[in-house]
Amino acid sequence: MSYKGKTILFDCGIHPAYSGMAALPYFDEIDPSTIDVLLVTHFHLDHSASLPYFLEKTTFKGRVFMTHATKAIYKLLLSDYVKVSKVSVEDMLFDEQDILRSMDKIEVIDFHQTLEVNGIRFWCYTAGHVLGAAMFMVDITGVRVLYTGDYSREEDRHLRAAETPQFSPDICIIESTYGVQLHQPMNVREKRFTYVIHSTISQGGYVLIPAFALGRAQELLLILDEYWSNHPELHNIPIYYASPLAKRCMAVYQTYINSMNERIRNQFANSNPFDFKHIYPLKSIENFNDVGPSVVMASPNGLQSGLSRQLFEMWCSDKKNACVIPGYVVEGTLAKTIINEPKEVTLMNGLTAPLNMQVHYISFSAHADFAQTSTFLKELMPPNIILVHGEANEMGRLKQKLITQFADRNTKIISPKNC
């Protein structure tokens, strides 16, 4: 975004369905050397994972900011990404050293703290979505732009809902991931989630939950641990949280408890809610004790490679087993393919196998749905709305609905193409 000679880059992610250079944003369309400030809203790969590449391997020489929790988790998540990526060494966009070097360059910002760089003033608000997620308000000579990143106005078990800024921006750049869809109420989704898992276990099956090690995984672990506590008959059934980073991830969550909602802070006064009673870390498939029904949460969330893919291939042909896809999955990933329940799937070795396991899509992805988006925009009433972060058809439908909603005002709504 450029205005009056100042240039800002919002977020710096990769496309999770691709690997190597193909996963990068269109960096060749911009001149990194002209960027004054890079603001990263949260740690998810599609918002942060090209940062080591961008900082180390392009002409960018500006400053980069994110919140404290985002920085802590960014480091872990990118280490995990490097470990589970199935690309050759020469196709790797960056290595562990690049991640560490990028950590030296990342500066942190507190929520509601105002900073100024080269005449660009900016501050941030809580965005919900994941721990540390921020919406950035940028002010250049009095013109204000709000960039939501990914946000959710629904409080869940551990996160606060997104804040509403106290004044209206001139331009609101807003995510459109779920377009005009409406989410089921949280308690309905939780019931479906625990019902599917309990009934699969009762039939002697395995449950695979493909999810990244950090983010929505913690919400699901809180739900599972509480459900197991309330069902003594499940106490001999193990739940594994499978990630080389499992223990370190939990330490970060325990550190940033004060950034979470009141419910979890109250629990923390008695005992640490992230110190799970029924969930065990699992480092690799070699450590997996395969002796009967169990629940395994494993990364990556798209089943492209890594432990979640290995377990999927072991379990996909038995109809007793289930795969619960707990969040938004990207076009081009195996997780997206199996939601439509094809008869067969292609294994990593190129052979095919029947897909007999049950596949359930129950989204906990904490993005705003249409109801949240339209309410948020009604409260802010920005004269200009720019839709981003959505699949073209969904975004088109959202645009039409918003045009109707704001018909009596002179609101400009644009949905720019991806380059």
Contact residues for 172 (Cβ-Cβ < 8 A; gap 6+): 145, 146, 148, 377, 380, 382, 384, 385, 386
Q: Which string of DSSP letters, residue by residue, matches 259-285?
A: GS-HHHHHHHHHS-TTS-SSEEEE--G
Q: How far apart are the C-alpha atoms of 190 and 308, rounded to whole Å? A: 22
Per DSSP, 292 falls in state S
Catalytic residue status for 367: yes
* Catalytic residue of the set 44, 129, 278, 367: 367
3-state secondary structure 393-410: HHHHHHHHHHHHHCCCCC
Contact between 11 and 54 under an 8 Å Cβ cutoff? The reply is no
Q: How far apart are the C-alpha atoms of 234 and 239, rounded to whole Å? A: 10
Q: How far apart are the C-alpha atoms of 375 and 122, rounded to whole Å? A: 24
Per DSSP, 63 falls in state E
Q: Which string of DSSP letters, residue by residue, matches 362-404?
A: --------HHHHHHHHHHH--SEEEEESS-HHHHHHHHHHHHH
Residue 379 Cα to chain centre, angstroms: 25
Per DSSP, 160 falls in state P
Please give the structure tokens belonging to residue 164: 């509403």
Q: How far apart are the C-alpha atoms of 40 and 124, rounded to whole Å? A: 11
Contact between 216 and 366 under an 8 Å Cβ cutoff? The reply is yes
Q: How far apart are the C-alpha atoms of 400 and 180, rounded to whole Å? A: 10
* Residues with active-site annotation: 367
